[in-house]
Amino acid sequence: MKKALAMSLATCLLATSMVGCGGTKKEETPAASSAPETKKEEVKKEEPKAEEKVEIRISWWGGDDRHTATLDAIKKFEELNPNITVKAEYGGWDGHAEKITTQLAGGTCADLIQVNYDWISRLSKDGKGFYDLESLKDVLALDNYTESDLAFGRSNGILNAIPVSTTGRSLYYNKTVFDQVGVALPKTWEEFIAAGEKFAAKGLYPFDLDDGSGFTAWYLATVYVQQKTGKNFINEDGTLGFGVEDIQLGLDFYKSLEEAKVIRNLETRTNEAGTTPLYQTPSWIDGKVAGVLEWSSSIGKFEAVLKEKGQELVLGDLPMLSDAKSTGWYQKPSLLFAINKDTKYPEQTAKLLDFLLNDPEAASILGTSRGIPSSKAAAKALADAGKLEGIAYDGFKQIAECKPALVSPYMENAKMKEIYIEATQKTSYGQGTTAEIAQEMYDKMTAELANLTK
């Protein structure tokens, strides 16, 4: 028996040695051999296996500031992990959701995917649409997050995604232009609306709503209505909180902003640049419009183009009704990261994800390009480096401290957005009364929410 054992061990050593010369190693089953007896200690001295070289893909949307920072972080990750090559796929927001949905359906999506809040409920109702991240907890430092943070990424109890940060839309102003016009930055809704007349005299606008689709217009309208009524636009259970009269109130408020020349009507905005993001349009870059409602996690791209023109972007106050029944302003995860359930390299992808979310060096490179990190380790790294400052950080604190309402994941659902956009466009173009449009909008939203939540 001793002789047989020795022969088996020798065969095992010989097989391992041959695999090491030929490439990727695989465990071999010991077999009988006539090789001389080998001591067990020699087996322990075997050289460690070389790590497999793999290529993984990551996709995200954003502005140039986010693109540059993420590419720099990926470069550092590759330096630290020479066995992993990372292919970056990125662009603007327009059309991105449709692209990712198509890729997921066709099995061609990236390994690591930046996702929006509503995608979890839409693409993974049973919790199995993305990789179960808790199965990778040996790689991912999940203890850097509170359970309330992780809850944003759960579906059916399964952790589908990790939030990078939380965010809310605040009002930001081109202070350079406001100073030139001689108007103080608005603090109330009344001052906000009154600024329109003074700017109009100069052929300018004090504000705009990011794109020409009308979605951002409805977002701002719901804030006003929530303050006025104390109702949630969409309740926690996914039912509609607004009645027809509440919806009409929101549409009337939106129309009043156009009539007071606070914002351009959709026809004027569309004629200039279609649905091009506001920060890329001449009107924003040249100061013809001097304010925007934007997520704190995305404001950097607006600030960057103004800096190039020697103009200063600042955070404004959150307008509040004097008799407000709620703050009305929203908070949500700015974005999340999920891993493709069909990835061939879950551990390597999780390693990249953990680096981007939790590594202090990555945090320093990424800064606040995706908002203020939810990760305790990343937030500490930025704080220690004195990088938790600027308008993105100020906007984050402003929303976090105003007792915000949490955005329903259904609010940004693609089908729901189509309904808001149709209604605001009809309102802007005068295609019906606000009462008629409100009733139609109520009927469509009620039916769609019932379908989404069943």
- CATH code for the part of the protein at 54-167+333-389: 3.40.190.10
pLDDT mean by block of 10 residues, the chain; 454 residues: 41 38 37 40 44 94 95 98 98 92 95 95 92 97 93 94 94 98 97 97 93 84 97 94 98 97 93 88 96 92 95 97 95 95 98 98 95 95 92 93 90 93 96 98 97 88
**Run of H or E including 58:** strand 54-61
Distance between CA atoms of 400 and 412, rounded to whole angstroms?
Answer: 20
Q: Write phi, then psi, for 297 (nearest 5 degrees).
A: -75, -10
The pLDDT value given to residue 39 = 42
- Say if residue 302 is exposed, middle or buried (CB neighbours under 10 Å; 0-12, 13-18, 19+): buried
In 3D space, the residue among 374, 403, 371, 365 whose CA is nearest the CA of residue 390 turns out to be: 371
- pTM (global) more than 0.85: no
On the question of a common fold for 54-167+333-389 and 169-328+413-453, the answer reads yes
The pLDDT value given to residue 436 = 98
- CATH code for the part of the protein at 169-328+413-453: 3.40.190.10
Q: What are the residue ranges spanned by the domains of the chain?
A: 2-44, 54-167+333-389, 169-328+413-453
In 3D space, the residue among 118, 217, 116, 210 whose CA is nearest the CA of residue 422 turns out to be: 217
Structure token pair of residue 306: 């103004």
* Rounded (to 5) percent helix, strand, coil in the chain: 50, 15, 35
Distance between CA atoms of 434 and 423, rounded to whole angstroms?
Answer: 9
The pLDDT value given to residue 275 = 79
The pLDDT value given to residue 122 = 87
- CA separation (Å) from 189 to 221, 257, 384? 12, 10, 38
The pLDDT value given to residue 374 = 94
The pLDDT value given to residue 411 = 93
The pLDDT value given to residue 52 = 84
